[in-house]
Amino acid sequence: MNAIVVVESPAKAKTINKYLGDGFTVLASFGHVRDLPARDGSVRPDEDFAMSWEEDARGDKQVAAIAKALKGADTLYLATDPDREGEAISWHVRAMLESRNMLKGKIVRRITFNEITKSAVQAAMRAPRELDTPLIEAYLARRALDYLVGFTLSPVLWRKLPGSKSAGRVQSVALRLICEREAEIEVFRNREYWTIEAIFTTPAGAPFHARLTHLDGKKLDQFDLPNAEAAERAKAAVERGEFSVVSVEKKRTRRNPPPPFTTSTLQQDASRKLSMTAQQIMRTAQQLYEGVEIGGETVGLITYMRTDGVQMAREAIGAVRSQIGSAFGPDYLPAAPREYQTKAKNAQEAHEAIRPTDFTLTPERASRHLSQEQARLYELIYKRALASQMQSAELDQTSVDIADKAGTTLRATGSILAFDGFLKLYREELDDHAEDEDSRLLPPMAKADPLNRGKVTADQHFTQPPPRFSEATLVKKMEELGIGRPSTYASILTVLRERNYVRMDARRFIPEDRGRLVTAFLVSFFARYVETGFTAALEEKLDEVSDGKLDWRKVMRDFWTDFSNAIDQTKDLKISDVIDALDEELGPHFFPAREDGSDPRVCQACGTGRLGLKLGRYGSFIGCSNYPECQYTRKLAIDGAEDGGDTLRDGMKVLGANPDGIPVTLRRGPYGLYIQLGEPDPEDKKAKPRRAALPKGVTGDDLTLEQALGLLSLPRIVGVHPETKAEIQAGIGRFGPYVKMGPIFASLDRDDDVLAVGLNRAVMVLAKKQEGIRELGPHPKGGDPVMVRKGRFGPYAQHGKTVANLPRGTELDTITLDEAVTLLTEKGKTLAPKGKKGGKPSAKKPAAEPRPAGAKKPPTKAAVKLPAKAAAKQQAGTRPRAKVKPKAK
């Protein structure tokens, strides 16, 4: 037998070739071999959604190699990935080979395997099948929908909303979720509430904490103590009461393990616990799936990572239970295997969960063969899969109610982990206090026990706005709503960042102005197509197509009829109409009603103009209707929200005054917020007031006068080095906070406070920096000492502002003073001032020789006349390339 096997990647081809042996040639398609060309007419609704496919150069090359190998073969096995995209790739490869007339007389079979192991591959070869037509039709429908939405809606955006880049069927809904969450945060107003806690002691002398739940016999809700006065009254009621135990309730609860990973839960957990992006997670999982070399053989470590399923194969469950018994003992093994049911609506796409292919290959053994990123992800997958078949955790929970005769009641709660079960291996949450809560234990108490009251405290709290979406929480939200599919989430989030519709801050999504405008435009003119309900319903129809229950062309016709009508209705829209619609849509959000009833749109600068949405060359902003007389503008955000809660009237906020009575103000400049001491002297224009930028992590809302004065006083003296007796200073420079000793600078960490960093910490940071610095001694010509340092591009010598790279292979510890001085003399370059390029000064250009009288001036470069074609090329920005022809003899 001579057979050709087509897989997607070269790494997979190499591994599978070893498993199949002689008689099989395994080749890679390198993913998709053709696609819809990025131009109008690739999908033609008038021809019942006929599609034109185009082969790219790489795809054409790979199919040509497959066609060449097929000449001497009798069977073609299409072994691409076991999902919708894999089915589509096999379909494309077969279609391209048929167009080249290469399949005549050949047997074509489709095989799939969920893991790249010898047994799984050989089992797949024994059970070939035909291509799955419904799955291919579901791919065609999705591809056509995404093309029609993108190539029909995006041009409308370009024409009607300059600066916009693209829209997408799922991408735009995800962007709307981010924008709506940001809007909730911006309009959120903190609400104050108080809680009362007291320390009690049992008759045996054991202390514990309890919280007030009832006052005067009435149950307290969250906001029933809204201010300090109410809190003090409640505190006084607790302080004058005599308390005893009125009830003790004990119960044992069980916590079951979570199921093994699906694509979306893997992205959520790895994002939270490993701080990886969705793209990093899927790339690393792909590497683990395709395999790494262990003991001279390439082995796939996990099953296929694009899946909605939570079930495991029977043989895998047996292997898991065997590993649990040997590693943890019989107490951690349930009597019967755990069964999990998939939530996916499409059974054909719900494959086995993500799990290790070999449970005896523990993370400790595997890590020797993996990169750090691969090892961390493998450990997470391994522990989750193993924990899913472990015994439940058991907790003993206790609740104690304490009351006095006046109806004042407090409650104390506690729990203890009676049996850790799966928690011994895997914890789903990342709460720092989770372990404390599991191990908190109340002292023994019984009903009617008298209690001694200790300290009573009243604590102030404020409600918090909903958090911004992280990659993990956005993926979870999209999955809950049924938007998109897990295999596409990573690419959707990447596109939103690449289009500059969102940015990431502290690993959270923040919508950019452009993203807000695009969302407002789509909500105003295409509301139906960015509704979560409509998008989820369309996904369900596509799932029915892949299940063979619905005709894909009918789905397309139903969608296109309404969508094309919505597009036609925007043809006569003027940009001014769009701006007015967006201004009306965003108005209630950016100009919320004021408590005093005044008009929130009145211009703060001129007092007569009306503020509204404007569109400029560099994006959107809020401006005054009295332009150009009034040039007041502000960022596209709620008034004050862009400063972390501060309202900078006329771009300034007074924080207070320094001890000399000079005002300290917070201002907005072109590079962000800064602090200024006093005002410029109108008589001395060169004298500028002292200024300081805000460090990272400090917002206008957080800044106090004390902090501002501290920042203005930088650099400050931290102390004297205990060994060198040199003075150490702390300050903020171009690259953030630092400490400095003589010529040595060392950056402080993100957690260090430049205003409070102490001598011990400063010495430690400088010592770490000095590990890469060595002082050789004084330069023969005087001045600063000669130093050698570690740099980004290797070690170098330095004297003052002159530096020279050390020869390749030279270590800091081996170079001598004389060698360094020679290098600095021969190859030294002068460090440039800020904003200027360094290097040796260039030699002066020699003066031109005098031209004899009457001689014509030589033509300049610009004066040389080019032929017509060459001139046209140069005008278009391309330099004509000279053609050299040999002279004829």
Catalytic residues: 304
> Nearest-CA neighbor of 134 among 96, 95, 103, 88?
88
Residue with tokens 């063969």: 369
Distance CA 399, CA 247 (A): 8
Collapsing DSSP states into helix, strand and coil, what is residue 564? helix
> Nearest-CA neighbor of 692 among 652, 717, 664, 660?
664
Contact 747, 735 (CB under 8 A): yes
Rg (CA), the chain: 35
Strand-pair partners of 172:
none
Amino acid at position 707, single letter? Q
Sign of CA dihedral 228, 229, 230, 234: positive
CB burial of 817-835 (b: ≥16 within 10 Å; e: otherwise) equals bebbbebbeeebeeeeeee
Distance CA 492, CA 469 (A): 14
Count Cα atoms within 13 angstroms, Cβ side, for 355: 26
Alpha helices, DSSP H only, in 161-291?
171-187, 228-240, 263-274, 278-290
Q: What is the 3-state secondary structure (H, E, C) of 252-263?
A: EEEECCCCCECH
Distance CA 401, CA 38 (A): 69
Distance CA 525, CA 527 (A): 6
Amino acid at position 126, single letter? R
Q: Dmax of the chain from CA atoms?
A: 123
> Nearest-CA neighbor of 387 among 330, 338, 315, 438?
338
Is the backbone of residue 467 left (phi > 0), alpha (psi -120 to 50) or beta?
beta
Q: How many Cβ atoms are within 10 Å of 435's Cβ, its own excluded?
A: 13
Q: In sequence order, which residues have a C-beta less than 8 Å from that of residue 155 and are 6 or more positions away?
A: none
Distance CA 618, CA 693 (A): 25
Distances (CA, A) of 131 to 90, 108, 116, 544: 8, 9, 20, 18
Alpha helices, DSSP H only, in 359-482?
363-366, 372-387, 434-439, 471-481
